[in-house]
Each structure stands twice: as structure tokens, then as C-alpha cells.
Amino acid sequence: MHIADFDYHLPPEMIAQRPAEPRDSSRLLILDREHGSLSHHIFRDLPHFLSPSDALVLNETRVIPARLRGHKKQTGGRAEILLLNRLSSRTWETLVGGKGIGVGQEISISEHVEAEIVEDLGWGRRIVRFNQPISTMLDLIGEMPLPPYIHTPLKRPDEYQTVFARHSGSAAAPTAGLHFTPELIEEIERKGITIVKITLHVGLDTFLPVNEEDPGEHPIHSEWCHVSPEAAGKINTVRSNGGRIIAVGTTTVRTLETASRLSPPEHEVSPFEGTTDLYILPGFRFHVVDAMVTNFHLPRSTLLMMVSAFAGRERVLQTYEIAMKEGYRFYSFGDAMLIL
């Protein structure tokens, strides 16, 4: 397995710069693994492909205004901090952008907020200590951390937030969830489909490219996730009754398969709270996820590798080629796939 196996060329104009309006008017490409068939739909058609016996699993994480812009106190040069993981009230694991920003460097964020680099973790990661707790100030001093391939500013911060976002902590949105509207969720519930909610706070691996020739050597980083006893119980009940577990997004897949690894044989998943470093590559055996809603992912990314593990690398890349020919929009604000 080589990193080039997960490469493809995407014309830049196919990268979505704005979310669909309304959200559920985005397109939905359905890939049926059993029959090898593809069909083209609108996302609001999703309930037609779900059964009352199924469970739809959503990630309730909420994106924080994690991008902080500032300048180096010593030279005035520009600096940028991307918050990844809060370690204490004043200390965060971060990605830091700017020239020559090493341990001991001080960064001014605002009139009253300053940061000091206290440890270099490599790969652009730094441990940063602020002069005061900043969690309650992020709406004032921070910006929504849009991916670098999105160049159009948000009209509203909630455009990069799912309608069911509840628990703050992510440095990026679980983008498969962006297609849902309150009305679509209500329709799914009226059909009798079980809605299950878990949490995974999206962190570093969304931003780091895979540079290793062998993807298996890529260092995967941990992310905090939570499967409550109530969520685990719903999933186990649905599975015991013969229903399918449909994960909305790669973050949900990672969470469920982590909880499954810790579960006794008589259950599909167990309650879980903690960090996961589960790295899903082709050859992985899925224990709980039966179907997946997901966006179209970047070349050479761990997310594309996970989808390839679920549906087969060649099939996924062939599907991406067809999606490009059909004019689908790619990446975070792009269209969606339902892989059955």
C-alpha cells in the first residue's frame, strides 16, 4: 500500500466554497456495495433509503472559534494559533503558523490576551500557555477555523456548524452532518428511525497531510470521544433487532468502531469516554457500522483511506471520477455520499 494509491486530480473549481442553501438541497450520490450500483439524488431524499429498524448516528460536537490571529511581541511579525486540545484552563495543544516561532516566543492576540510557546511537539504542533483562561473569550478573539481551500468568507458563523451541534470542542466541523436541517431530522424521526447522538471532537488529523510513502507509518493523533450508556443501548437494541447502524461522517465511524473494540461479545458497542487513536486503513474489519454518510474527501487523506477501507479503494476512486463528471461539489461544503 502506497500513498499514491489514494491520489486523484480534482479541478479547483469543483471545491465547494459555500454551503448549499438550504442545506439539504445538496446532492447525494448513493453507492450500493452489494450490487456495485450508483444513483444520483438530493440529500433530502435520504429518508427514502432508511428503514424504521435502522439507527442514524450523529456527532454532536460543536466547532469553537479556534483560529487566533496575532503578532510576535519581539518583532511584530504575523502569527496564527489554531487551538486543538485544551490541556488546562490556560494551556492548549495548538498548531502555530508563522516564521521562527519556537519555545519562549511570545504572541500578542489582543490588548489583554497573550500567549507563550512552552513546548515544541513537532509537525507544527506547539504547547501554548495563555496569560489567562480564554475559553469564554473565544467568540470575541477567535475565528471559525475554515479549511485552507475555502476562500469565501462565511456569511454567518453557524454555516460551519451542524444544526445539532451541542458540545464545544472541535477545531473543524464534522462535515457530513452539515447537510441536515431540523425539518429533515424531524422527517427521519417520524419514519421511526432511531436517532443516536455521540461526540467526537475533531482535532489535528483533519489538518495534517499524509507525507509518508507508506500510509501505515503516518502518525495518527488521538481525539476525545464519548458514547453514552443511552447511545450504546440504542445501538445494541437496533442491532439485536436486525437493524442497520448508519454513521453520519468519518468521525462517527471512528467513535463507534472504537467503542466496539472495547465491547463484550454480547454487545455491539459499550459506553466509552476518552481518547481514540484508531487508524482505519484498507484491510480494517468493521464491527458495527453498516452504512456511512460522508462527503468527498481530499486526495491522500486519512479520511479517503477510511472510506476506501469501507467500500474498496478502486471502487471509491471510480466513484469519485464519476462524481466529477457529474458535477458534484467536493470537500467540506460539498455534496455527500451514502455508502450502503
CATH of the domain at 107: 2.40.10.240
Same domain, 136 and 195: no
Please identify, among 90, 120, 141, the residue that sits at the C-terminal boundary of a domain.
Answer: 141
Same domain, 133 and 276: no
Please identify, among 117, 141, 165, the residue that sits at the C-terminal boundary of a domain.
Answer: 141
**Residue 93: pLDDT over 70:** yes
Same domain, 314 and 248: yes
Q: Compute the average pLDDT of residues 156-173.
A: 96
Q: 178 or 268: which carries more pLDDT confidence?
A: 178
Mean pLDDT of the chain: 95
| CA-wise closest residue to 82 among 254, 202, 209, 199 | 202
Indicate the SS3 state at residue 153. coil
Residue 136 placed within a domain = yes
Same domain, 53 and 187: yes
Q: Please, which pLDDT band fits residue 206 given cuts at 50, 70 and 90?
A: low
Same domain, 181 and 304: yes
Residue 295 placed within a domain = yes
Residues with Cβ < 8 Å from 255, sequence gap 6 or more? Answer: 59, 198, 199, 200, 225, 226, 227, 272, 276
Q: Please, which pLDDT band fits residue 220 given cuts at 50, 70 and 90?
A: confident
Same domain, 193 and 320: yes
Please write the tens of the pLDDT for every residue from 5-17: 999 999 999 999 9
pTM: 0.94
What is the phi/psi pair of residue 287, to 5°?
Answer: -105, -30
Angle between the N-to-C axes of helices 302-311 and 313-325, in degrees from 0 to 180, rounded to the nearest 10: 110
Residue 147 placed within a domain = no
Residue 91 placed within a domain = yes
Same domain, 77 and 130: yes
Find where cell 490556560 sits: 90
For residue 207, the model assigns a pLDDT of 61
**Residue 204: pLDDT over 80:** no
Q: Please, which pLDDT band fits residue 327 given cuts at 50, 70 and 90?
A: very high
User: DSSP characters for 180-220?
Assistant: --HHHHHHHHHTTPEEEEEEE---GGGT----SSSGGGSPP
Q: Compute the average pLDDT of residues 232-259.
A: 97
Same domain, 52 and 71: no
Residues 160, 206: contact at Cβ < 8 Å? Answer: no
Same domain, 55 and 96: no
Residue ranges making up the domain that contains 220 = 3-63+154-339
Q: 47-61, 174-188, 198-212, 272-286: lowest mean pLDDT where?
A: 198-212
Neighbours of 63 (CB within 10 A): 23
208 DSSP β-pair partners:
none
Q: CA 245, CA 263: separation in Å to the nearest integer?
A: 16
For residue 267, the model assigns a pLDDT of 87
The CATH number of whichever domain residue 199 belongs to comes to: 3.40.1780.10
**Residue 258: pLDDT over 90:** yes
Same domain, 50 and 107: no
Q: Considering its fold, how many domains does the chain have in total?
A: 2
Same domain, 129 and 163: no
Residue 146 placed within a domain = no
Q: Report residue 205 CA to chain centroid gap.
A: 9
Please identify, among 111, 141, 171, the residue that sits at the C-terminal boundary of a domain.
Answer: 141
Same domain, 112 and 220: no
Residue 149 placed within a domain = no
Residues with Cβ < 8 Å from 27, sequence gap 6 or more? Answer: 40, 41, 42, 43, 328, 329, 335, 336
Please write the tens of the pLDDT for every residue from 55-64: 999 999 999 9
